[in-house]
């Protein structure tokens, strides 16, 4: 289905603070990495460091998917967004948004926030522009 055909509960699900798993084809096997993400209602965004292998792989092959699933204590549900990834260097604002969304005020979170915010000007933003969205509800 296209994003325009997604039911509102799928959008709400993607707007909640969950971990998404980025999946790309690979040789000799596919690669999957858990990430924080932001759903804009049209695209999925996440950030990474410039030297990470996923940046190199996406530059070589921008076909990417992200799967977001319900927690074990929730009814079974998942959403898969498949599309083309676009790399950009304007991820600073996204880092701030993700820190606010995913981190609390605990000591470990404060330390991680400080580290991420200190390097926010160097991050690479990855935007997945959906070609297809699938979802499962029991």
Per-residue pLDDT band for 12 (boundaries 50, 70, 90) equals very high
Q: What are the tens digits of pLDDT across the range 45-91? A: 999 999 888 898 899 999 999 999 999 999 999 999 999 999 999 99
Per-residue pLDDT band for 29 (boundaries 50, 70, 90) equals confident
- Contact by Cβ (8 Å): 39, 14: yes
Query: What is residue 137's predicted lDDT score, i.e. its pLDDT?
Result: 80
> Using CB atoms within 10 A of its CB, is residue 91 exposed (0-12), middle (13-18) or buried (19+)?
buried
Q: What are the tens digits of pLDDT across the range 109-132? A: 888 888 888 888 889 999 999 999
Q: Give the predicted TM-score (pTM) of the model.
A: 0.91
Number of domains in the chain: 1
Q: What is the CATH number of the domain that holds 48?
A: 2.30.110.10
The boundaries of the domain holding residue 73 are 3-90+122-137
Mean of pLDDT over the chain: 91
Query: Does the residue 39 lie in any domain?
Result: yes
Q: Find the distance separating the first CA and the last CA of the chain, reported in whole Å.
A: 18
Query: Does the residue 14 lie in any domain?
Result: yes
Query: Does the residue 100 lie in any domain?
Result: no
Residue 138 has pLDDT above 80, yes or no: no
The string of DSSP letters for 39-84 reads E-SS-EEEEE-TTSHHHHHHHH--EEEEEEE--TTS-SEEEEEEEE
Query: Does the residue 105 lie in any domain?
Result: no
Residue 28 has pLDDT above 90, yes or no: no
User: Between these two residues, 107 and 136, which has the higher pLDDT value?
Assistant: 136
Query: What is residue 58's predicted lDDT score, i.e. its pLDDT?
Result: 92
């Amino acid at each position: 289905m296209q994003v325009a055909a997604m039911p509102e509960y799928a959008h709400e699900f993607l707007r909640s603070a969950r971990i998404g798993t980025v999946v790309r084809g690979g040789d000799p096997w596919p690669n999957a990495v858990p990430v924080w993400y932001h759903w804009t209602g049209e695209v999925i965004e996440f950030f990474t460091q410039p030297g990470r292998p996923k940046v190199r792989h996406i530059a070589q092959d921008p076909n990417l998917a992200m799967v977001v699933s319900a927690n074990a204590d929730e009814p079974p549900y998942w959403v898969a967004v498949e599309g083309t990834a676009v790399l950009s260097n304007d991820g600073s604002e996204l880092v701030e948004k993700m820190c606010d969304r995913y981190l609390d005020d605990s000591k470990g979170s404060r330390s991680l926030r400080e580290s991420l915010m200190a390097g926010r000007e160097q991050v690479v933003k990855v935007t997945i522009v959906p070609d297809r969205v699938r979802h499962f509800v029991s």
